[in-house]
């Protein structure tokens, strides 16, 4: 424990705002619009656990609309895995689902499609990246960043 907050063994405290900001990607298309993370609660730790890190995974409370909660319950193990992958360590071990209306903020318009010159420039920047998953993630990021800029007139 540090300042009353559960802390990852390496000193990081998972932040609900990060989870909320990335929820659409974590939950997937099926649940992004009908659910949202409410809070993460970790058990109190008075001393180090058996791993010596003093950290125990917590409980993630998710608000979900109506009947979709049942489908979300069936995907619980997958969702726990996705959340833990997002944080990079075993941050949660359980999910509690509460049924309530979800207000999903209106989305900003997506990035415009890149033209051929922008695509080739981005491909050149990523040419040296060997890991295909990393390259794909960086390509999505680059497409979003370049696509939100106004198109330059040449």
In a domain, 9, yes or no: no
Q: Are 91 and 22 within one domain?
A: yes
First to last CA, the chain: 56
Give the SS3 label for residue 87: helix
Whether residue 63 is found in the same domain as residue 120 = no
What is the extent of the structural domain holding 125? 116-148
- Note whether 138 and 91 are same-domain residues: no
**Same domain for 142 and 91:** no
> How many domains are contained in the chain?
2
35: closest CA among 97, 84, 91?
97
Say whether both 73 and 139 belong to one domain: no
For residue 137, how many other CB atoms are within 10 A of its CB? 12
Q: Give pLDDT tens digits for 11-32.
A: 445 566 788 888 888 988 888 8
Residues 51 and 122 in one domain: no
Looking at the structure, tell me whether residues 33 and 93 fall in a common domain: yes
CA distances, 80 to each of 15, 18, 95 (Å): 16, 16, 7
Are 24 and 52 part of one and the same domain?
yes
Q: What is the CATH number of the domain that holds 77?
A: 3.30.300
What is the rounded average pLDDT for all residues in the chain?
80
- Buried-state track 39-61, b at ≥16 Cβ within 10 A, e below 16: ebebeeeeeeeeeeebbebbebe
**Could you read off the pLDDT of 34-77 as tens digits, one per residue?**
898 888 888 876 555 555 556 788 899 999 988 888 898 999 99
Is there a single domain that holds both residue 26 and residue 79? yes
The pLDDT of residue 12 is 46
Instruction: Examine the domain organization and report whether 94 and 137 are in the same domain.
Output: no
- Same domain, residue pair 30 and 69: yes
Instruction: Please give the pLDDT value at position 128.
Output: 93
Q: Let me know if residue 107 belongs to a domain.
A: no
State whether 95 and 124 are in the same domain. Answer: no
Nearest Cα residue to 73 out of 50, 48, 100, 96: 96
Residues 6+ apart with CB under 8 A from 69: 97, 99
In this structure, the number of other CB atoms found within 10 A of the CB of residue 117 comes to 10
């Amino acid at each position: 424990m540090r300042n009353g907050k559960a802390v990852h063994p390496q000193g990081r405290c998972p932040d609900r705002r990060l989870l909320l900001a990335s929820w659409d990607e974590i939950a997937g298309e099926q649940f992004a619009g009908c659910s949202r993370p409410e809070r993460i609660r970790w058990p109190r730790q008075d001393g180090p656990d058996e791993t010596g890190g003093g950290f125990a995974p917590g409980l993630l409370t998710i608000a979900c609309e109506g009947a979709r909660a049942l489908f979300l319950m069936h995907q619980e193990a997958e969702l726990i895995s996705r959340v833990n992958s997002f944080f990079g360590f075993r941050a949660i071990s359980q999910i509690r689902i509460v049924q309530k209306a979800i207000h999903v903020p209106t989305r900003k318009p997506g990035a415009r499609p890149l033209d051929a010159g922008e695509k080739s420039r981005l491909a050149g920047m990523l040419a040296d990246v060997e890991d295909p998953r990393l390259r794909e993630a960086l390509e999505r990021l680059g497409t979003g960043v370049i696509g939100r800029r106004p198109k330059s007139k040449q």
